[in-house]
Amino acid sequence: MSTNVEHLSTQLTGSIGGAAALPWLWPALLRALADGAPVTPEDLAEATSRGLDEVRAGLEALSDTEYDAQGRIVGHGITLNPTPHRFTVDGRTLYTWCALDTLIFPAVIDRPARVSSSCYTTSAPIYLEVNPQQVASVDPASAVVSILTPDGASPVRAAFCNQVHFFASLDAAAPWLREHPDGSVLGVHDAFELGAQLTKTLLAGDGSACC
């Protein structure tokens, strides 16, 4: 692991809270959302073998979770609501909150995904194929991902996810870096490595959450 990736992993583990306190809940929620339909607390109680009251209490602790008018969950990291990051699993079109999510979630749900996004600066298309073990392809090969370590004072989606973008190249990311001098930019494969380290921490339940 590169020094920069290791440093960012340590920073993010210590600064973003939420899901890692509930390693029994959030992976089950992501896997259920990846099936492409709204998820109920009852669905999660069955999937996790936990009581319904415990599931509902856990959901209250997951910041930014999206619900539909019937009170069903439609988004938490993976979402049924459109975002710039299209995340296709088993032919189902889903979305994610940020660029790093597209690299993290194939390992969490144990399924490959096809990703279609765009450069935050130029709007040029960016395509990836990601499986639980690696980024199988990225087009353009020069694509990078922005990372900003939040201060922990704001909800995770606003403080972190909304600043984690794809860019077609390092040059395309330069305006974002000027606006965010504390931010970093990683190549897609390094960003996948960062995501793998965060996922390991999240699944172990001994650190803080990413998205």
Q: Please state the domain count of the chain.
A: 1
- 101 a catalytic residue: yes
90 inside domain = yes
pLDDT at 15: 60
pLDDT at 181: 93
pLDDT at 4: 79
What is the SS3 assignment for 66?
strand
174 inside domain = yes
173 inside domain = yes
209 inside domain = no
DSSP for 132-184 reads SS-EEEEESTT-EEEE----SSS-HHHHTGGG--EESSHHHHHHHHHH-TT-E
91 close to 131: Cβ distance less than 8 angstroms: no
pLDDT tens column, 93-110: 999 999 999 999 999 999
57 inside domain = yes
CATH of the domain at 94: 3.30.450.410
pLDDT tens column, 154-165: 577 887 899 999
What is the C-alpha to C-alpha distance for residues 47 and 59, in angstroms, rounded to an integer? Answer: 14
pLDDT at 208: 37
Set 101, 119, 190, 210: catalytic member = 101
141 close to 135: Cβ distance less than 8 angstroms: no
Residue 70: Cβ within 10 Å count: 8
pLDDT at 206: 41
Write down the pTM of the prediction.
Answer: 0.90
58 inside domain = yes
Q: Which domain holds residue 125?
A: 3-204
Set 43, 119, 161, 190: catalytic member = 161
148 inside domain = yes
210 inside domain = no
Which residues make beta-bridge pairs with 96?
Answer: 78, 85
Q: Which regions of the chain are under pLDDT 50?
A: 1, 18-19, 206-210
Set 98, 119, 210, 211: catalytic member = 98
